[in-house]
Amino acid sequence: MSDNALPIHGWDKDPILTVEHLFMRFGGLVAVNDLSFRVGRGDITALIGPNGAGKTTVFNCITGFYKPSEGRLILGHGRAPTAEELDAVTLNGERGLSSSDAGVYLLERMPDYKVSGEAKVARTFQNIRLFSGMTVLENLMVAQHNALMTASGYSLKGLLGLPSWTTAQKDATERAKYWLDKVGLTERADDPAGDLPYGAQRRLEIARAMCSGPILLCLDEPAAGLNPRESLELNELLRAIRAEHGTSILLIEHDMSVVMEISDHVVVLDYGTKISDGTPEAVKHDPRVVAAYLGVDEDAVEAVEAVLDEATGAQS
């Protein structure tokens, strides 16, 4: 490579998700403005930016809660789709195309339940959305409701107690127990989810998302409201999900220490427009990023400067 050549990043070589020219308009407000970026397969990618930058709107477009005004959202199962496969799906008006070793899905054409069920993209929300009156274990079983309904032939096989149904039910229970253990909540399995402390509810939300077997996990501010010890545990959990399950992770996060600590790739938005895209190291030294945060308020200025100083000090 010559000195002038730009490095080729993993997210460019093997993207699991490619966001192309995404626009989202609410009346006259352009919340997302011609946004393009890639999420690398097996990477932890952070989407950051000041309040109101458009991060949650991007998540809502990716996960089928909003239909984008314009743009293409390409998800590749197994490997990045070839140009021919992509053209075939785009031109024939289909939502997706799958073969034995790969699949390509155009998420902007899919409703939310198909984004989770078929494209295998799971998400958590900025405000916790558990079924607080149900037990911790029941929350994880409900997450697998669609798969269980399919296995039960929409009740008939379940009523008859056919083997395919009993096996599916056993698998769902095992999966729920596995994730309870992973997030350290086995002891609380029979307690109402609403009785858990805040940090445990956040972990349960991640466990619930993982029970649907996603290939891409989208987390909206997973560290919000966590104390420093819980933040460290969250970092470990996300690393384990990536390492042991190969799940790619896209997260929105305001906590810069979490972002800089665990991300492979950071994309920065301001007023709906991408202002920076690169490694955490490159992004944190990008003057456009610092300026965007400095433009928010004094608390943000101090927070950004403190993280920059700490990160720079740690390296020198």
Ligand X SMILES: Nc1ncnc2c1ncn2[C@@H]1O[C@H](COP(=O)(O)OP(=O)(O)OP(=O)(O)O)[C@@H](O)[C@H]1O
Contacts with ligand X, residue ranges (CB under 6 A): 26, 29, 31, 49, 51-57
Q: Which residues pair with 251 in a beta bridge?
A: 46, 219
Q: Which is nearer to ligand X, 43 or 221 (CB)?
A: 221
At closest approach, how far in Å is the CB of 101 from ligand X? 35
At closest approach, how far in Å is the CB of 302 from ligand X? 18
Q: Which is nearer to ligand X, 85 or 253 (CB)?
A: 253
| DSSP letters for 268-299 | EEETTEEEEEE-HHHHHT-HHHHHHHHTT-HH
CB 202 within 8 A of CB 143: no
Whose tokens are 């607080």? That residue is 132
Euclidean distance between CA atoms 204 and 46, whole angstroms: 21
Q: Which is nearer to ligand X, 89 or 289 (CB)?
A: 289
Q: Which is nearer to ligand X, 125 or 131 (CB)?
A: 125
Strand 70-77 and strand 15-26: pairing? antiparallel
Euclidean distance between CA atoms 78 and 83, whole angstroms: 15
Give Rg (Cα) of the chain.
20
At closest approach, how far in Å is the CB of 248 from ligand X? 20
At closest approach, how far in Å is the CB of 52 from ligand X? 4
At closest approach, how far in Å is the CB of 151 from ligand X? 36
Euclidean distance between CA atoms 40 and 95, whole angstroms: 22
145: helix, strand or coil: helix
Q: Which is nearer to ligand X, 48 or 238 (CB)?
A: 48
At closest approach, how far in Å is the CB of 171 from ligand X? 36
Q: Which is nearer to ligand X, 55 or 188 (CB)?
A: 55
Q: What is the DSSP letter of 149?
A: H
